[in-house]
Amino acid sequence: MTVDANLGGSAETVSASELAEIGLRYEVDGAIATITLDRPDKRNAQTFATWSALARIGENLPDQVRIVVVRGEGPSFSAGIDLRMFTPEGVPGQGSFVSAASLEDSAFERRIADAQRGFLWLRRPDIVSIAAVQGHAIGAGFQLALACDLRVVADDVKFCMKEPALGLVPDLTGTKPLVDLVGLSRAIELCLTARVVAADEAVRLGLAELAVPPGELAQAVRDLTGALLATDRGAATATKRLLQGALGRTLDQQAVAERREQIARIRTLFGSS
């Protein structure tokens, strides 16, 4: 089934044709939502409109969705930000960073925060997001993959945090998951050299859960999705919430959090009322 991003029909609705214009597809099939970056001729380069549409998809995700797959059509997952955003002309209707440079700080910050909203919802505890990544995942492409809980990659994957090489910082929420996954030293090395990380290293560093031949990527994601869906939703949500909080807590605090989540689980499973 293909659906509009908002089933309720509010001002947030993003239609399939609007998505197509932006270069996105969005499909919901039962518990699985699939978002496809669909501008393969431009290597799925991303614009403000891409991020705004992603945010609206997240805000209007149907309740039954438990898994969100983010994938890219064509040879590359995403070649990052649309480079027209760095030209004075920008992307038609969306402006550019050249014009944004003269914004007041607060307005500029709001603009970046709006873009980040497209990425942040992918960490919601009640869903599991999976990036299926083949070919290039550069800059914003790498950050979109990092925004997901899990990454399944094709053997030809090429991750690259290119922003510092362009005089910028990665600001689409990618720096924290990168540090969480690979550690501070490796994150500094990867970002400040803007070097490419291929599949075997990505798996070794924990950037990807598994690497498969390109022709097997879709099946690998289906297999993982099936295994994730076999787990009770309430338990999966509570466990993800617990794991997400673990890095920010002491052992004692985590033990308290475990107790609280477990009491809620046991009451749900066995409580009389």
Residues of the shown chain interacting with ligand ACO in the complex, contacts defined by CB under 6 A: 42-43, 45, 75-76, 79-83, 136, 138-140, 162-163, 166
CA distance 55 to 122: 9
φ, ψ of residue 181 in degrees (nearest 5): -80, -45
Nearer to ligand ACO, 198 or 210 (CB): 198
- Smallest separation (angstroms) from ligand ACO to the CB of 138: 5
3-state class (DSSP) for residue 210: strand
Nearer to ligand ACO, 58 or 72 (CB): 72
Nearer to ligand ACO, 73 or 163 (CB): 163
- Smallest separation (angstroms) from ligand ACO to the CB of 194: 9
CA distance 201 to 196: 10
Nearer to ligand ACO, 23 or 60 (CB): 23
CA distance 250 to 116: 28
Nearer to ligand ACO, 39 or 56 (CB): 39
Greatest C-alpha distance within the chain: 65
CA distance 260 to 254: 10
Chain-centre distance for alpha carbon 264: 29
- Smallest separation (angstroms) from ligand ACO to the CB of 99: 17
- Smallest separation (angstroms) from ligand ACO to the CB of 136: 4
Asked if 138 and 78 touch (Cβ cutoff 8 Å), the reply is yes
- Smallest separation (angstroms) from ligand ACO to the CB of 81: 4
Strands 210-212 and 150-154: parallel
